[in-house]
Amino acid sequence: MTTPTVTATPAAGAAKPATAADPNRLRRRRRLAQWGFVAPAVVFMLLFFGYPLVRNVVMSFQHYTPKTFFTGESPFNGTDNWSNVFQDALFGKALWHTLVFTAGSLLGQFCIGLALAVFFNRRFPLGGVLRSLILLPWLVPMVVSGIVWRRILDQDTGVLNTFLDTVGLGSGHTPWLTSPNMALLSVILVNIWIGIPFNMVILYGGLQEIPKELHEAAALDGASAWRTFRSVTLPMLKPVVTVVLVLGFMSTVKILDLILALTDGGPADATQTLGTLTYQNSFVQLDFGAGAVVGNVLILISAVFAVFYLRANRTEGK
């Protein structure tokens, strides 16, 4: 910030040093140059986010087969893809799993993340170091986390069952990932573990913003710690809570990496979600039309949620 030449007032900056020439043309040229800064990003985002949205809608009305990539032929087939997908029982299952997975993950991540944020919000020796080290799981690639957990949850030789057996809890042979009844729960638990650091850090930031005097005033009024938390902390934290839950929803509802690494959607489709179903349809069965249908449903869910979020924000702002 060393600008020794700042002697001119802002008003002098407004007087353009342009001597001759048509001022209109000059202004237009400058505008064009300014758009040059923004245009590459706009074009990129249109290509990588806008275009896929449109293309997916079109693809959902086209017939793709493994042969398509040799012949280049993908004729329109009306609403065949849509009715095929909706009639398949797997779609309903995947939709249900997605909702359960998202709700369960968010609930667990948020509650534990909030508890840890409150815990680390108090000052104690090494608190800052411990808090930043908790971030580590969040920075490891998600597939890698999934694979590590796959080993930990192994039915016969995984350390979790060994531990539970030693402590005397459970049979020591809980089929965490291999039983259709347990797999979804296990996947949710792992995803909670992954999401805790992110929730904690953002909620911690929110807690830091709350003026200390408010807590002191509540304490002076004789409010208990729980009462203070409920009637002072939580209301003040509300905007941050909304942000955490919305970002959490967006990243959870489309989950793919983690499930592929843990269960590949199995056993017996017990952990198949809309994300994995899109992948299976398009990239395993090479039926991109069916994949596009499921993908569109996924977008629709996100969009509905986004509208609710924006509306809630707007009414709150007024």
Binding residues for another protein restricted to 59-98, rule: CB under 8 A:
59, 69
Q: Are 253 and 165 in contact (CB under 8 A)?
A: no
Question: What is the smallest separation between the CB atom of 94 and another protein, expressed in angstroms?
Answer: 12
Among the candidate windows 145-153, 181-189, 211-219, 224-232, which touches another protein by CB under 8 A? 145-153
Residue 244 C-beta-side C-alpha neighbours within 13 Å: 28
Binding residues for another protein restricted to 182-201, rule: CB under 8 A:
193, 196-198, 201
Question: What is the smallest separation between the CB atom of 268 and another protein, expressed in angstroms?
Answer: 19
DSSP state of 76: B
Among the candidate windows 81-89, 99-107, 228-236, 278-286, which touches another protein by CB under 8 A? 278-286
Binding residues for another protein restricted to 4-23, rule: CB under 8 A:
5-6, 8, 10, 12-13, 17
Question: What is the smallest separation between the CB atom of 222 and another protein, expressed in angstroms?
Answer: 20
Q: Which of 80, 88, 118, 119 binds another protein (CB under 8 A)?
A: 119
The contacts of residue 110 (CB under 8 Å, 6+ apart) are 199, 241, 244, 245, 248
Structure tokens at 172: 């020591």
Dihedral of alpha carbons 123, 128, 129, 135, sign: positive
- Name the strand (E) or helix (H) holding 218: helix 212-220
55 contributes a contact to another protein by CB under 8 A: yes
Specify the residue, 123 or 318, whose C-beta has the smaller distance to another protein. Answer: 123
Q: Which of 172, 210, 250, 266 binds another protein (CB under 8 A)?
A: 250
Question: What is the smallest separation between the CB atom of 205 and another protein, expressed in angstroms?
Answer: 5
Structure tokens at 45: 């985002």
The contacts of residue 180 (CB under 8 Å, 6+ apart) are 267, 268, 270
Helix, strand, or coil (residue 62):
strand
Q: Tell me the CA distances in angstroms from 187 to 51, 97, 106, 184, 309, one per residue in order.
A: 32, 11, 13, 5, 27
Q: Which of 27, 28, 67, 151 binds another protein (CB under 8 A)?
A: 151
In the chain, the largest separation of any two C-alpha atoms, in whole Å, equals 90
Question: What is the smallest separation between the CB atom of 93 and another protein, expressed in angstroms?
Answer: 18
Q: Which of 91, 101, 120, 176 binds another protein (CB under 8 A)?
A: 120
Q: Residues touching another protein: how many (CB under 8 A)?
A: 99
